[in-house]
Structure 1
């Protein structure tokens, strides 16, 4: 019997996963919880064979759970709505066997649970490709951590657009643009919008002759 622990801070997600897994022969949901602290406690108490683990939760997040699990750990499947490649790769480095987005079809989730119980992995092709490139020592794309909207904002930054201009061109509020810019700076590890724009130029988001860097934004 494959005993599964579901760890997710959204009750609806937990209920959906429980419903799906309870229909499967040879699979039972041993327990569920909403945060990392409970996950560690239930792992010790219930000894599940597989853990479905959300990466982003209040308090102790999924990466912290992976860091604190002992040697006698369940097979971990990261199931999350966030698509930051570096976080996903870090989860795999910390021992997660599989990564699946929450939009994954239910049969794919069941496949991942059965595979994990036997030490197997199920990965999105994009993540598998990233792992292969890392193993080959290829330099990762620094923009891979950005969402599609953040790439649009960074492209506008590389063209020297102000927040007002970006908001107008992308039909966003000014505060939303400021939030995107702050996220871009944090993800790229730079301190201002000019440095971010330079990264965008280096990665070919816009031709150099279209760049009008404006540090004041």
Structure 2
């Protein structure tokens, strides 16, 4: 069962999302929050697998919630009415797996929830296109800029050939949390497997070549 927490300051939006998700097999809405402060307070108790997060709210906005979520964070899907490039890039850098407009079709929201539960990303075509353009224009000189500090640690371990279990023990994380980080790293770096991600880490100097072991089976 995929446990979902909805965080949005508009009650109508929360009710609509709950109605849609409650119709889906294998998905359970475990809570709703009208602000970021409340969301951070209930996450440890509710233990959602996925958080649907509004970007603009009174008090703590979506970006600040992303910054303050702990290591055992839920997978985050940002739902917003705003399309500011810098906010989108920052949300993804802070760990959001998907970034969808509030006008997104309900079936795509459901798809994003199911994907996020397994560490996958769903990006609206316009947003995906913007990210590709940003990369091609060289606005990010360092391809690792989009990674969170924790994701850099996981990528460093990947470049050393560590399995998910070894990474979990070394970084004191749950194995499922490591899987989520790995999936996020693959999506952000635009690679398809752990070995390709490890090679990027090596190219960026995270690990000396003589310490690299690229037999990364997971």
Give the match's secondary structure for 1:191: coil
Deviation at 1:130, TM superposition (A): 2.3
Change (3 A) 1:199 1:114: closer
Change (3 A) 1:57 1:116: same
- With the length of structure 2 as denominator, give the TM-score of the two structures: 0.63
Change (3 A) 1:20 1:143: same
More displaced stretch, 171-180 vs 88-97: 171-180
Matched length: 217
Q: Distance in 2 between matches of 1:180 and 1:52?
A: 18
More displaced stretch, 181-190 vs 125-134: 181-190
8 Å Cα contact 1:7-1:54 kept in structure 2: yes
Q: Give the number of the structure with larger relative contact order, counting CA–CA contacts within 8 Å between residues 6 or more apart.
A: 2
Deviations 1:86-133 (A, max 9, x none): 111110110000011111111010000000001110001222122223
Change (3 A) 1:182 1:84: farther
8 Å Cα contact 2:72-2:173 kept in structure 1: no
Deviation at 1:183, TM superposition (A): 33
Change (3 A) 1:170 1:8: same
Instruction: List runs of 5+ in structure 1 lacking aligned partners.
Output: none
Corresponding residue for 1:162? 163
Give the match's secondary structure for 1:30: strand
RMSD: 16.2
More displaced stretch, 166-175 vs 176-185: 166-175
More displaced stretch, 128-137 vs 194-203: 194-203
Deviations 1:23-78 (A, max 9, x none): 00000001000000001011111010000000000000000000000110000000
Name which one, 1 or 2, has greater alpha-carbon Rg. 1
Q: Distance in 2 between matches of 1:100 and 1:200?
A: 29
Q: Distance in 1 between matches of 2:71 and 2:194?
A: 43
More displaced stretch, 102-111 vs 121-130: 121-130
Deviations 1:137-157 (A, max 9, x none): 158999999999999999999
More displaced stretch, 176-185 vs 142-151: 176-185
Change (3 A) 1:12 1:158: farther
Q: Distance in 1 between matches of 2:169 and 2:46?
A: 53
Corresponding residue for 1:197? 198
Change (3 A) 1:85 1:24: same
Change (3 A) 1:93 1:196: closer
Q: Distance in 2 between matches of 1:30 and 1:114?
A: 15
